[in-house]
Chains A and B, each alone.
With several copies, the nearest count.
Chain A
Amino acid sequence: MKRVTPGWTQVSARVVRQRAVGAGHLWLDLAVPRAFDPPAPGQFVQLLLGPTATAALLPRPMSVAACRRARHGWELGFLYAPIGTGTRALAALEEDATLELLGPLGHGFPLEQPGTPVLVAGGRGVAPLLFAADALARSRRRCEFLFGARSRTQLVGLPDARARLERLGGRIHLCTDDGSVGFRGHVVALLERIAARLKPPLVVHACGPHAMLKAVARWSLARGVPSHLAMESIMACGTGVCRGCPLPRSPRARAAFRGARTPSLYGNEEWAMCCTEGPVFEAAALDWERIE
């Protein structure tokens, strides 16, 4: 059973810097105080701007893409796309602006699992995997990094990924739908293609659009390769109290639920809460047919 006692807090964060990283995406560094529990790769935070910065009421969930010690606490990195009211308001923040940050939330990738970590990123889903690559590098573990997107320009954060992997000689494998760089095709096709060449046993950690994660989950279930997928959901609280972020459990997981002592904060027999039990789930835990 995963850890129950939540370690999150809500703190004031300061914009250290914000820069464009291509294809309309931004990289944001936020300073948070030492009291903040350092997040693990795959965990997320809730960013809250307030009425003098946005009309959005609810905080916005965002994966942590980097975390490093800084002078008075931690510096957290985020990679995001300004697509709506909340993220556009975020993009308008200048250096030294403050916002509220709640976290770390949810459960991250079980990077401690033995085997070759295969990180599979789709589009802006690369964010938590950059952090995962970092963490693996810190514990001196080599990983394989698969990164797919629609086209070359959509491979946002690629230089960051390269920088991280170079340090440890992890390998990066690219693919694009249009073949503008790397393998032409989906990242799962790429995975299928190179899996046999990688050092077994493999452990897949993936993040990207749900359609991609579905394909990764199916691939890994068919191959018997363990995989851990960082899911998304519309959220209100991020802490488990609103019950707003259900993901459907697989029939097997439902059966298992009855015997287990899963905390109700995580969900019930039918639904797993993305924010507390997830956002990272094992492929076998979810009913991929019913995921949108």
Chain B
Amino acid sequence: MTPPRGVDLRVRIGPMALANPVLAASGTFGYGDELAHVVDVAALGGVITKTVTLKPRAGNPPRRIAETAGGMLNSIGLENVGLQAFVREKLPRLRALGATIVASLGGETPRDLERLLEALGGERGVSGFEINFSCPNIARGGARYWAVPRRLERTLQRLRPLTRAALIAKLPPDVTSVADLAVACEQGGADAVTAVNTFVGMAVDLEHMTSRLGRATGGLSGPAIKPLALARCHEAACAVRIPVIGSGGIMSGRDALEFIAVGATAVQVGTASFIHPRATLDVVEEMRALLAERRIARLLDWRAVLADPAARPPAALNRRRTSHG
């Protein structure tokens, strides 16, 4: 096997230059320091911190996790330390570790998000902001509320002036058209969209005749959703010119390359970190090795080899059969 050096994995997301396209997904990597003794976070493309809200949130009652076939439902409910503690305690530590930081922000209204970005928009060492428009687990300000193209576009128009850092919109999957949402985000001034957050799902405990979660529904993540996330990522990538960040069931370098092949510019690793705490870094390394094997020097030469942005999704893949294999 060719030594994995020399593969150029760099990508850009708006103003943000990443050493490689692998980001730790929000809510699956804490505030970036919890796994630092096994993952050199500076070697990742970046770390997206747990979604932060203006006030701390205690999160939903148990149970918060239910494993399902090939995936898991979660009902965390955006438990987070709140803006103040995030700035005072969390950011400094993550900065000290040398990570490229993307702060995930959550709000129930456009105004909430403005206030968060007013506070954080100029924060030193924060390279980007991912706006969580797609939490399935909260009563207000969740995926259902935001899944309206015009609301997204207008909100992003208000947020755009508040920062020079990368502005990323994280989209929900449970919509008729991810493409429409992505286009709205592009028009609103987002530098990128993330496709996708968890899918709304449900599980029942027949023994106790209750939901297997503290709430009726939760968000499904993990390998089970990979084919669905891949299709939505492809759909978004075909619809917009800004970069798309793939998320959903990425467990390996192979998975990551699939998302990038259908048009993603970068990827997020989420649930995988619960199974292998080093998963994010493993994905980087496996991706590098796979590209080296295929003698591909730059990740960008791989990007979208299977996506034809002009074509509608169903036709795109069969048309091109390039032979990087």
Tell me if chains A and B make direct contact, with any CB pair below 8 A: yes
The complex places the Cα of A59 from the Cα of B275 at a distance, in Å, of 6
Q: Please determine whether A102 and B74 come into contact, CB atoms closer than 8 angstroms.
A: no
For A247, list chain B residues within 8 Å (CB).
62
Q: Please determine whether A6 and B37 come into contact, CB atoms closer than 8 angstroms.
A: yes
For B59, list chain A residues within 8 Å (CB).
243, 246, 268, 270-271
Tell me, yes or no, whether A236 is within 8 Å of chain B by CB.
yes
Tell me, yes or no, whether A233 is within 8 Å of chain B by CB.
yes
Q: Please determine whether B79 and A237 come into contact, CB atoms closer than 8 angstroms.
A: no
Chain A: interface size category: 35 or more
Q: In the complex, which residues 287-301 of chain B have their Cβ closer than 8 Å to any Cβ of chain A? A: none
Q: In the complex, which residues 269-284 of chain A have their Cβ closer than 8 Å to any Cβ of chain B? A: 269-271
Tell me, yes or no, whether A56 is within 8 Å of chain B by CB.
yes
**Distance from B102 Cβ to chain A, minimum over Cβ atoms (Å):** 16
Q: Please determine whether B79 and A271 come into contact, CB atoms closer than 8 angstroms.
A: yes
For A268, list chain B residues within 8 Å (CB).
56, 58-59, 79, 81
Find the B residue at minimum CB distance from A59: B275
For B275, list chain A residues within 8 Å (CB).
48, 57-59
The complex places the Cα of A9 from the Cα of B38 at a distance, in Å, of 7
- Encode A1-31 as 1/0 by CB contact (under 8 A) with B: 0000110011000000000000000000000
**Distance from A61 Cβ to chain B, minimum over Cβ atoms (Å):** 11
Tell me, yes or no, whether A163 is within 8 Å of chain B by CB.
no
For B67, list chain A residues within 8 Å (CB).
56-58, 234, 236
Which of A100, A236, A292 is the one whose CB lies under 8 Å from B62?
A292
Q: Please determine whether A244 and B74 come into contact, CB atoms closer than 8 angstroms.
A: yes
For B50, list chain A residues within 8 Å (CB).
243
Tell me, yes or no, whether A250 is within 8 Å of chain B by CB.
no
Q: Please determine whether A241 and B81 come into contact, CB atoms closer than 8 angstroms.
A: no
The complex places the Cα of A247 from the Cα of B31 at a distance, in Å, of 21
- How many residues on the B side are at the interface (Cβ–Cβ under 8 A)? 40
- Encode B220-249 as 1/0 by CB contact (under 8 A) with A: 001100000000000000000000000000
- Encode B59-92 as 1/0 by CB contact (under 8 A) with A: 1011111110111101010010100010001100
Q: Please determine whether A244 and B65 come into contact, CB atoms closer than 8 angstroms.
A: yes
Q: Please determine whether B276 and A236 come into contact, CB atoms closer than 8 angstroms.
A: no
Q: Please determine whether A242 and B79 come into contact, CB atoms closer than 8 angstroms.
A: no
Knowing A57-B223, A236-B274, A264-B81 touch, does A244 contact B64 (C-beta < 8 A)? yes
Q: Please determine whether A242 and B277 come into contact, CB atoms closer than 8 angstroms.
A: no
The complex places the Cα of A242 from the Cα of B59 at a distance, in Å, of 12
Q: Please determine whether B65 and A242 come into contact, CB atoms closer than 8 angstroms.
A: yes
Q: Please determine whether B273 and A10 come into contact, CB atoms closer than 8 angstroms.
A: no
**Distance from A84 Cβ to chain B, minimum over Cβ atoms (Å):** 9
Knowing A57-B223, A237-B273, A270-B58 touch, does A243 contact B70 (C-beta < 8 A)? no
The complex places the Cα of A247 from the Cα of B71 at a distance, in Å, of 23
Q: Please determine whether B62 and A246 come into contact, CB atoms closer than 8 angstroms.
A: yes
The complex places the Cα of A268 from the Cα of B78 at a distance, in Å, of 12
Q: Please determine whether B71 and A57 come into contact, CB atoms closer than 8 angstroms.
A: yes
Tell me, yes or no, whether A240 is within 8 Å of chain B by CB.
yes
Knowing A57-B72, A270-B58 touch, does A236 contact B81 (C-beta < 8 A)? no
Tell me, yes or no, whether A55 is within 8 Å of chain B by CB.
yes
For A233, list chain B residues within 8 Å (CB).
62-63
Tell me, yes or no, whether A235 is within 8 Å of chain B by CB.
yes
Find the A residue at minimum CB distance from B278: A10
**Distance from B90 Cβ to chain A, minimum over Cβ atoms (Å):** 8
The complex places the Cα of A264 from the Cα of B79 at a distance, in Å, of 10
Tell me, yes or no, whether A245 is within 8 Å of chain B by CB.
yes
Tell me, yes or no, whether A62 is within 8 Å of chain B by CB.
no
Q: Please determine whether B274 and A245 come into contact, CB atoms closer than 8 angstroms.
A: no
Tell me, yes or no, whether A63 is within 8 Å of chain B by CB.
no
Q: Please determine whether B63 and A239 come into contact, CB atoms closer than 8 angstroms.
A: no
For B277, list chain A residues within 8 Å (CB).
10, 102, 237, 239, 241
The complex places the Cα of A280 from the Cα of B267 at a distance, in Å, of 37
Q: In the complex, which residues 194-244 of chain A have their Cβ closer than 8 Å to any Cβ of chain B? A: 233-244
For A235, list chain B residues within 8 Å (CB).
65
Q: Please determine whether A241 and B76 come into contact, CB atoms closer than 8 angstroms.
A: no
The complex places the Cα of A55 from the Cα of B37 at a distance, in Å, of 29
Find the A residue at minimum CB distance from B69: A55
Find the B residue at minimum CB distance from A273: B79
**Distance from B99 Cβ to chain A, minimum over Cβ atoms (Å):** 15
For A100, list chain B residues within 8 Å (CB).
276
Tell me, yes or no, whether A265 is within 8 Å of chain B by CB.
yes
The complex places the Cα of A56 from the Cα of B63 at a distance, in Å, of 18
**Distance from B263 Cβ to chain A, minimum over Cβ atoms (Å):** 25
Tell me, yes or no, whether B28 is within 8 Å of chain A by CB.
yes
Q: Please determine whether B276 and A240 come into contact, CB atoms closer than 8 angstroms.
A: no
Find the A residue at minimum CB distance from B224: A57
Q: With a 10 A CB-CB cut-off, give which of B50, B85, B274 has the most chain A CB atoms.
A: B274
Q: With a 10 A CB-CB cut-off, give which of B30, B35, B74 has the most chain A CB atoms.
A: B30
For B70, list chain A residues within 8 Å (CB).
55, 57
Known A-B contacts: A241-B34, A268-B58. Give 9 more (CB < 8 A). Answer: A9-B38, A57-B71, A57-B275, A239-B274, A242-B28, A242-B76, A243-B59, A246-B59, A271-B58
Residues of A within 8 A of B (CB): 5-6, 9-10, 48, 55-59, 100, 102, 233-248, 264-265, 268-271, 292
Pull 27 A–B residue pairs with CB atoms less than 8 Å apart, ordered by A.
A55-B70, A56-B67, A57-B67, A57-B69, A57-B70, A57-B72, A59-B275, A102-B277, A233-B62, A233-B63, A234-B63, A234-B64, A234-B67, A236-B271, A238-B274, A241-B28, A242-B65, A244-B64, A244-B74, A244-B76, A245-B62, A246-B61, A264-B90, A268-B56, A268-B59, A269-B58, A292-B62
Residues of B within 8 A of A (CB): 27-31, 34-35, 37-38, 50, 56, 58-59, 61-67, 69-72, 74, 76, 79, 81, 85, 89-90, 222-223, 271, 273-278
Interface pairs A-B: 3 shortest CB-CB: A270-B58, A244-B65, A237-B274
